[in-house]
Structures are given as structure tokens and as C-alpha cells.
Amino acid sequence: MPELRKDPIIGRWVIISVERAKRPDDFVSTNGGPSEGECPFCEGKETNTPPEIYAIRKFGSKKNASGWDVRVVPSKTPFLRIEGNLDRTGKGIYDVMSGVGAHEIVIETPHHIANIADLDEEQIAKVLTCLVERFKDLEKDERFKYVLVFKNYGWSAGAGKVKHSRTQLIATPVTPKRVKEELIGSSEYYEHHERCIFCDLINQEIASKSRVILDIDGFISIAPFASRFPFEMWILPKKHSCDFYNLSFENNLDLARIIKKTLLKLRKGLNDPSFNLILHTAPFRRKKAGYWKTINEDYHWHIEIMPRLTRVAGFEWGTGFYICPIPPEDAAKYLREIEV
Amino acid sequence: MAVLRKDPVSSRWVIINVDNPKKPEDFEKEEHVFKKGPCPFCYGNEFMTPPEIDAFRHEGTYPNTPGWLVRTVSNKFPALQIEGDLERRGEGIYDMSNGIGAHEIIIETPYHDKTITDLTDEEAASVINMYCRRSIDLQKDKRFKYILIFKNYGAAAGASLEHSHSQLIALPMIPKNVLEELAGSRKYFEYRGRCIFCDIARQEIQEEERVLIETNHFVSFCPFVSRFPFEIQILPKEHSCHFHEIKEKEMLELAKILKETLLRLKVALSDHSYNFIIHTSPFDRESHDYYHWHIEIMPRLTRVAGFEWGTGFYLVPTPPEAAIKYLKEAKI
């Protein structure tokens, strides 16, 4: 059982993997990416993954067999384990919690395609539908407080050897620190202004135009004012909502369209760089968790995309200050002008 | 001039380079390899760096000429600039400020092929002495609130030059991570009336399990809550909030424990890249008695991916209790 441990100073939780303990020579050099072996995610290879949790399938096809469009399976090497109770214990000044959680892989296409930007809009919309369904299902499990959805594309973004397009989903028993910071920031703003900070941000960005990359179908993609990374991009729904999984069926397709166009611009403009994509959404409102009353009004779900073009070094780790070598206004202008 | 901007949601500050923006084709996608050609940090090449700010020199030698042991120069490509006044302004919901600060390079040795672990104890102590001297000098500048001293060793840790060096950045505000650490240790102090780091040192020494080296005044150990595999912390056993207040006779002891720790890391991990960072109190006239300076060493073994960025949760594939065994067994 992996362990969660809490930093007593700044409240950051870490997962200590006891069973998967690595030896020093297990670490591969970060030079380039290793060559790809056989892909367990392709159609016809369904028995190479753990049994599927959910899938969008063609009529009449069988579970764990061919005939699917999008497929969700548990991770073969999960960070957290689904079985077990949440046990919290103290060890002197330290807090320890058992590593209960869910770690799932959403296989975005039956074909061996690496970049989600190469899928068609309908296919991406199906991926979004799968994510919404997984949120609804995981919400029923009272042990989980938060679901993190993210994508590592390319070796320097932390992707594994297999290049097949996929998104990962991790349900955690605590609300993670970064998420909490964002929630606290949003609620403080709401307390002073009685408005959602993200709605204000969207209005200001649309008015000033300089950092807008795309403004289509009820969504915008922007290069954020305080970008941490060069060519960082956010996708936000113009309509206020704190929960991603309240996305309606028709909005699914609109969101799929802006995701595809935004990522195509990145690929074309920067020669197919590695990136991380992270969904920021509100935690589940559990009775005991004591979340503030205004979360529905003060928080606004969105997607953050971080291309991996620079290296994070001592300065960034030490300070939480990031050095961004290109102004977001220049990045937005460059990306705006790329035809897709 | 760079600008500083503050994220209105998370209060995170960033530095934006508006003068020499990198073009998309400027970014390297592949692994960084050290440039060939003359090294600006080598003995005899003093003219290749900006003029020196401070140095330990043999008697009778002149600045910007050979005859030095440790040398501090301005960074040729600074993240922040030293000239100007601090101006903060707003733009709608956004806050910003101009990028005032100091960015210095401490060249640790005149020899290109030596790393910090190859130096004698006395040579390494003079590097630490230089860190202190620069900190004390920069504190006189009222525009600065925090000094960060750090080292990027190896390309994967972000080093761009091979010649052994450390960096110092003086900032006009206290950075977010430091504020968090200060707030956390203050809360603990208010609640228990004790320094949290003193309690950590006490518990680690008592439990022994994660301790690598213990000397009279310092302890180096793999923290119980490591964020990275093989992460190591060096902590002074006696309470002290400011790194630069270290006594001269303790510098040699710190040099020894730092050298041995890094050497064990080098042997155990066959010379991987790492970052080390000195965490110390700001000098904003407030009392930071509840804080305790220390050094964090973070080997760059894993690629930090979406999960870590999104959550601030870190995945540690080697428990500190396992890492410590390899470090202890390393033949040095």
C-alpha cells in the first residue's frame, strides 16, 4: 500500500510508493525517448490491459474486445490503490494517510495515433463524454474528494514509452494543495467583489484582445497574463460553471473543437512540442469536507496547457517564481496567426 | 527590462522577459549539451565575464585577472536587473511590477574539471563564505527583501555551463514558496511555542533511520516527506533563522558535510544532475525567529509531469528510508 505523507510546514501531500520502490539504476536518462514497444492500447490488444471500466462501443460489440471508440481501463501501475479504507495516523510531528484512490487511463482512440489534435472533433467529444461519465461514477465513492484529469504528451512532458493518445484520471482522498490554493484565491476574490474572478478575467481578456488565441462557440483560449511557461494556454468556458462534468452534450462538441484547434496551433507553430494538459475543476462537495458556501459562484472550471519547452531549475523550485522567456502577448499573437 | 506579474488567483509571481523575447525556433526540444569553446569561468578568461563584484584572491593580484580562488560576477543574462526603482502597478484585475533584482554567479573554482566534491574542505568553505559575504552586502540594498542561493548541477538540472558555479538572486519581494514555508513554521510556533525545524531535527536524529551524516552542528538526512527520490536536507542543529549568520568556524564543518553528502549522492546515482537551494529568512525587518535555515538537495531523476503540476502532489518512487540505504552504502 503506498502512503500519503503531509509536509508539516506547507501542507503539501506526497505519495510514497513503497512497493514500487526504485533502485538508482532504474532511472532512465532524460535524453530523448526510448523506442516504442508493442502498444497495449490499440484495437485488438484489449486483453493486454486490465479489464475495462467504461467504454463507448459499437452496437453489439463485447466488453474487452474490439469494436470500441473510447475505452477506460485502470492503470497497470497505479499511483494509488482503489481497495482499502482511509486511515490517517500520526508519526511524531508527521501525518500519514493510506494511499487510497483511483488511477484510470482513458484511451482516446482505437488507432495508434499519438496526438489528440489529430483526432476528429466527434472523437474528441466522445473522450469528453467518457470523462463526464467517469466523474459521475467516482462521485458516488465517498472516499474521494477530487478527480484530477491530465494528459502528458511527449517524453519531456513525462509520457511513457507507448505513444498512443490517452488521458489519465486520478481520484484523490484529499483536495490537493494546488487546487486548494486556487479555490481559496477565488473565494477571497468573491468575498470582496461578489463576482467570479474567472468571469472577470474572461471579460478583461476579451476586451483587451491581446492575449486571446481563439474565441469560438462559447469558449476562449488565451495565453494567461501571468504565464509560468512559454506558450502556456488556458481554455475557459464563457458561461460560468464550477464543475466540468456539468458540461452538456452540445457543449461537448464545442469544447472538442476549441481543444483541437488550440492544440493544432501549438503543434504547427512549435514543431510538435511535448505538453501537459490539466483540467481544473471544483472538488466533490462532501458533507464533512466543509467547503465554503459560495463555491458554485466563485470557482470556474478551465483547462491549462503547459508546453514543455524550458527546463524547470533550482530557482523555480526554490521560489515558486517562474521565469517565462516570452511575453504571453507575443505568444498569443504568434499562435493567433497560425492557420489551422 | 523584465516585468514581474502576479497571478490574481494563486498569488504566484512570474518574471516576463519583454525585451529579448525568445522566438519559437529558439527553444530547444532535445537534451541540452554543454557548449564547446573557451569557458568564461576559467582561470585566465576573466575578461570574458562582466566585471567581478567580489573575489577571494592571492595577495597582490588585481580584480578581473588571475590569482583568485572564488569569484563573483554579474550574470551576463540576468533574470532581473539591478538598476531602477521598484514600481508596482495594476491593470484591471492584474498586478505587476518591474523586474528589479540582482543576479550573480559565484564561480567556485578556477579549474574547469573540478566540481564541488573535488575541492578541499577549505576551498569549499570559502565558497560558503562567499555566499555569506554576498548576502550581507546585498542586504544593504533596501529594495531587496529576499536572497536565494542555489546551484544547478548538470544539464537536466538546468545548468547551461559546465564549470562549477552557484547562483544568487536578490528579489524585491518574498517568493511564494518561501512565504508558504514561513507561514507554516509560524503557525506551528504559535501553536506549540517551538521551532518546527528544531523538532524535525530532533525527531530525525532520534529515529536515526533517515540520517545520512551527523556532525557537531549539522545533520544531513532524507526527509520523511521527500518530494523527489533521493532528496536530502542539511539542517543546522542549533536554531538559526539566517544562513548568513553562520559562524566562521562552522563554515568548514558545513563544507565537509555538504561535500560528503554530494559525494555520496554522486556515487550512489552515478553522477546525476541535481539542484540545491539554501532556504533562509527574508530580511524585511520583521522577526523570523520561528524559521530555521537549511539546504535542500533535489536530484533530477524523474520528469515532473501533469499530475505534479496540477496538484502540487509529488510522486516519490523511492521512499526516503530506501534511498538512505544506497547513500550510506556508497563507497566514497
Convert the pLDDT of each residue in B172-185 to its tens digit: 888 878 888 898 88
What's the DSSP call for residue A177?
H
A contacts of B329 (beta carbons < 8 Å)? none
CB-based contact A276 B309, cutoff 8 Å:
yes
- pLDDT category at A34 given cuts 50, 70, 90 is low
A203 Cβ partners below 8 Å, 6+ apart?
none
Evaluate if residue A165 carries a pLDDT over 80: yes
Q: Give catalytic status of residue B217 as yes or no.
A: no
Nearest to B295 by CA among B237, B238, B259, B243: B243
Smallest CA–CA distance, residue A275 to chain B, in Å, is 9
Long-range contacts of B118-122 (CB under 8 A, 24+ apart): B119/B259, B121/B252, B121/B255, B121/B256, B121/B259, B122/B252, B122/B255
Evaluate if residue A217 carries a pLDDT over 80: yes
Long-range contacts of A85-91 (CB under 8 A, 24+ apart): A85/A143, A86/A143, A86/A173, A91/B224
Evaluate if residue A32 carries a pLDDT over 60: no
Average pLDDT over residues A195-224: 94
* Domain, as residue range, for A294: 36-76+101-336
State the total domains in chain A.
Answer: 1
- pLDDT category at B29 given cuts 50, 70, 90 is very low
Residue whose C-alpha cell reads 573535488 in the numeric block:
B118
Average pLDDT over residues B150-158: 87
Evaluate if residue A319 carries a pLDDT over 70: no
A333 vs B: CB within 8 A: no
Q: Which of B103, B163, B165, B244 is catalytic?
A: B165
Q: Is residue A182 part of a domain?
A: yes
* pLDDT at A30 (0 to 100): 39
Q: Is residue A288 part of a domain?
A: yes
Residue in chain B closest to A277 (alpha carbons) equals B306
Evaluate if residue A204 carries a pLDDT over 60: yes
CATH of B3-329, one of 3.40.50.720, 3.40.960.10, 3.30.428.10, 3.40.50.180: 3.30.428.10
Q: In the numeric block, which cell numbers belong to residue A31?
A: 535524453
B contacts of A152 (beta carbons < 8 Å)? 305-306
b/e string for A175-192 if b means 16 or more Cβ within 10 A?
Answer: bbbbbbbbbebbbebbee
* pLDDT at B173 (0 to 100): 80
Smallest CA–CA distance, residue B326 to chain A, in Å, is 8
CB proximity under 8 Å: A 73-92 to B: 79, 91-92
Question: Which backbone phi and psi does A307 adopt, to 5 degrees?
Answer: -65, 145
Evaluate if residue A40 carries a pLDDT over 50: yes
Question: Which ranges in chain B belong to alpha helices (H)?
Answer: 121-138, 176-192, 196-207, 248-268, 306-311, 320-329
The beta strands (E) that lie in chain A are given as 3-6, 13-16, 54-57, 68-74, 88-91, 94-98, 102-107, 146-153, 166-172, 212-216, 219-222, 233-237, 275-280, 302-307, 322-324
- Distance, in Å, from the CA atom of A322 to the CA atom of A315, rounded to the nearest integer, reads 8
CB-based contact A79 B315, cutoff 8 Å:
yes
**CATH number of the domain that residue A43 is part of:** 3.30.428.10
* pLDDT at A2 (0 to 100): 46
* pLDDT at A21 (0 to 100): 44
* pLDDT at A337 (0 to 100): 94
A120 Cβ partners below 8 Å, 6+ apart?
A260
Evaluate if residue A44 carries a pLDDT over 70: yes
Average pLDDT over residues B287-311: 81
% of chain B with per-residue pLDDT over 90: 54
Question: What pTM does this model have?
Answer: 0.87
Best of A317, A323, A329, A330 to disrupt the B interface (most B CBs within 10 Å) is: A317
- pLDDT category at A288 given cuts 50, 70, 90 is low
Smallest CA–CA distance, residue A313 to chain B, in Å, is 5
Evaluate if residue A106 carries a pLDDT over 80: yes
Q: Is residue A90 part of a domain?
A: no
Average pLDDT over residues A113-139: 96
User: Which of B93, B159, B306 lies closest to A200 in CB terms?
Assistant: B93
Q: Which residues pair with B111 in a beta bridge?
A: none
Smallest CA–CA distance, residue B249 to chain A, in Å, is 27
- Distance, in Å, from the CA atom of B277 to the CA atom of B301, rounded to the nearest integer, reads 17
CB A193 within 8 A of CB A200: yes
- pLDDT category at B33 given cuts 50, 70, 90 is low
* pLDDT at A13 (0 to 100): 56
Task: Look at phi and psi of residue A102 and say left if phi exceeds 0, alpha if psi is from -120 to 50, else beta.
Answer: beta
Evaluate if residue A28 carries a pLDDT over 70: no
CB proximity under 8 Å: A 292-331 to B: 304, 306, 309-315, 317-328, 330
B contacts of A178 (beta carbons < 8 Å)? 10, 309-312
Smallest CA–CA distance, residue A59 to chain B, in Å, is 35
B contacts of A200 (beta carbons < 8 Å)? 92-93
Task: Burial-class residue B25 by CB neighbours within 10 Å (0-12, 13-18, 19+).
Answer: exposed
Q: Is residue A20 part of a domain?
A: no
* pLDDT at B44 (0 to 100): 95
A281 vs B: CB within 8 A: no
CB proximity under 8 Å: A 249-278 to B: 269-271, 273-274, 276-278
Hey, which of A29-33, A54-58, A84-88, A173-177 has the most confident mean pLDDT? A54-58
Count the neighbouring beta carbons within 10 Å of the beta carbon of residue B283: 21
A contacts of B310 (beta carbons < 8 Å)? 148, 150, 176, 178-179, 276, 278-280, 304
Evaluate if residue B11 carries a pLDDT over 60: no
A204 vs B: CB within 8 A: yes
